[in-house]
A and B are shown apart, each in its own frame.
Chain A
Amino acid sequence: MTQTLVASRHEPHRSDPKPARAVRHGRAVPFFVVPFGVLFILFYLLPIGYAIVQSLYTVERTGTFGPAREVFGGLTQYERVFSDGAFWTSIGRVLVFGVVQVPVMLGLALILALLLDSGLVKGRRFFRLAFFVPYAIPGVIAAIMWGFLYSPNLSPLKPVTSAIDFLSADLVLWAMANVVTWVYVGYNMLIIYSALLAIPAEVYEAAKLDGASQFRIAWSIKIPLVMPAIVLTTVFSIIGTLQLLAEPQVFRSFSSAVTSTYTPNLTVYSTSSIPNFNLAAAFSVTLALTTFVLSFAFLRFTSRRGEQ
């Protein structure tokens, strides 16, 4: 009864009605589709194509001070991307970040959603709102705020921040993980909570009559049923992690440990400000492909496991 993004991708017709005589109304279709379609082509497909083309060129100079001209360089830029240690370090860094932060964030979101749904909690509405508030705060502002909260002399947690330097090279990645978690737990909780609400009460009526505990019901009935929602939030979180930009960019003002190539997107940005657009385009394409492959692989992996 639960159908997800994943499932509908494989069987798009399943829930469609049959507009039998729809052909008759075909003339209206361009009116509906063309405006979005044109913008999608211009500002989505075209840039992707253009980035790929740009990434295949290199800039050559004749002599040291000669005029620069772009020549087709084949995969030269990609060779540079693949031999760029800092870039792959940054990919590794965001992967480590994601492997820790995504499960912590989604685990917390799941626990809070289950608690809200369990009937153990009074004042559900208040808690739902309170947890969701940080989502209204854009990453840049949240990062600025937490940057101040971490700094030893301004923080309300002075005893903690004077003992532990959250902005040091060792901890700053996790300081940022906390900012991302703080912003997104409530949002993910709401997605899972909505999925829990969609489960009809009859489903666990029998379990309750048999005297199953709340924990047992959550573990054996609720979590399997909201799995599709968890998969969806995981995919969006993976995408978000690889794209990490606003938080590290802001933290550069607070901590010298955050370099200009700290995350893949920072590398794209700093390479384009050199400016070396061809190399930056190659970084961009590589990052987009990595993201696409990882989220697609995750969707595939989970949908195959679901079929078993």
Chain B
Amino acid sequence: MSTHAPEKTRIKEPLLSRTGAMLVMAVCTLYFLVPIWWLFVGASKSSDQFTSTNPLWFADFDLFANISDLFAYRDGVFLRWMLNSILYTGGAALLGTVLAAMCGYALAKYRFRGRELLFNVVLSGVLVPATALALPLFLLFSKVDATNTFWSVFLPSLVNPFGVYLARIYATASVPDELLEAARIDGSGEIRTFFKVATRLMFPALVTIFLFHFVAVWNNFLLPLIMLSDERLFPVTLGLYTWNTQVNQIPELRGLVIVGALLSITPLVIAFLLLQRFWRNGLGAGAVK
């Protein structure tokens, strides 16, 4: 992206426009970052100082004491929630990306009967929001007595039609047919070619699909809310939500919710920032081809 940007800056813009633009940017930066800054500062305070000191600046730095309180609370149920979240979201997104990539690749690279039908059904699936499926899934799982299990949240989370749609676009764009033909002539089987050749070419795209899938699962709140009643199976979002509903009865939970919220978003924020270029590339390919 940095290749064509400098050309544009070369033309001098009036000072007024530039100042105005920077002002908008500065105000928006405050809007987007101050709440997170507040969370970080709040998480570092003891509960007395939380209400009595400046909400946007540090008092005594008690972050680590607060974290160890959080980890100790109710036999470390918070850590369990974090682990669950990693399994639900990371696990489902990883496996789901592989499945979506395989299906999208087949849609892009092979002609077979029912291909159009499959693609259209999957594409309609993109317009069916995941939350609309939560209740029907609950009814189905209760038919086989499988609600309130790890699998009742994990298995439905594997399916991501949007990933198939993206994978089809990316496979068409980045895997040349000549290369597949060459691999065939060399005697490589179709499946081997996919894993050894195609996935490498599609790798940046696969990271994008993974990120989309990850966020979709991470944000799907209704499914675990409806499906799970055993708190040891909760993802961290559901766990913190239940604590937050009890703050009025158990005031000490408020501090734990704030520290927990900070801890639960920190790894994600870091990962998102590191992987940002994949978002940009992928979104570009998805929206404009």
Contacts and interface: CB of A to CB of B under 8 A. Distances in A.
Interface of A: 2-5, 8-9, 12, 15-17, 19, 22-23, 25-29, 31-33, 35-37, 39-40, 42-48, 50-51, 54, 108, 111-112, 115, 117-124, 127-141, 144-149, 153-156, 158, 182, 185-186, 190-191, 193-195, 197-198, 200-201, 208, 214, 226, 228-229, 232, 235, 239-240, 242-243, 245-246, 249-250, 252-253, 265, 268-269, 272, 277, 280-281, 284, 287-288, 291-292, 295-296
B122 interface: yes
17 contacts: A5-B286, A17-B172, A26-B112, A33-B106, A36-B103, A37-B118, A47-B139, A119-B11, A121-B25, A140-B237, A140-B241, A154-B55, A197-B284, A214-B17, A232-B286, A280-B135, A288-B128
Question: A interface, by DSSP: helix, strand, loop or mixed?
Answer: helix
A89 to B, nearest CB: 19
A119 B159 contact: no
B279 interface: yes
Contacts of A128: 276
A239 B36 CA distance: 27
B137 A47 contact: yes
A48 B106 contact: no
B18 A44 contact: no
Complex A-B, nearest 3 residue pairs according to Cβ-Cβ distance, in ascending order: A194-B284, A28-B190, A47-B136
Contacts of B122: 40
Interface string B232-256: 0000011011001101100000000
Nearest to A146: B35
A158 B36 CA distance: 17
Contacts of A133: 32-33, 36, 269, 272-273
Nearest to B169: A8
Given A29-B110, A201-B8, A136 B272 contact: yes
B49 interface: no
Given A40-B122, A43-B158, A292-B127, 19 more contacts: A4-B289, A5-B287, A15-B172, A28-B194, A36-B159, A43-B155, A44-B159, A112-B25, A112-B28, A129-B273, A136-B269, A137-B36, A138-B221, A138-B265, A139-B219, A154-B50, A155-B55, A228-B288, A287-B132
Interface string B93-117: 0000001101101111111100010
Contacts of A229: 287-288
A245 B221 contact: yes
A243 B269 CA distance: 25
Given A44-B159, A128-B276, A133-B269, A26 B110 contact: yes
A281 B8 CA distance: 55
B182 interface: no
Contact of A277 (B139, B172, B258): B139
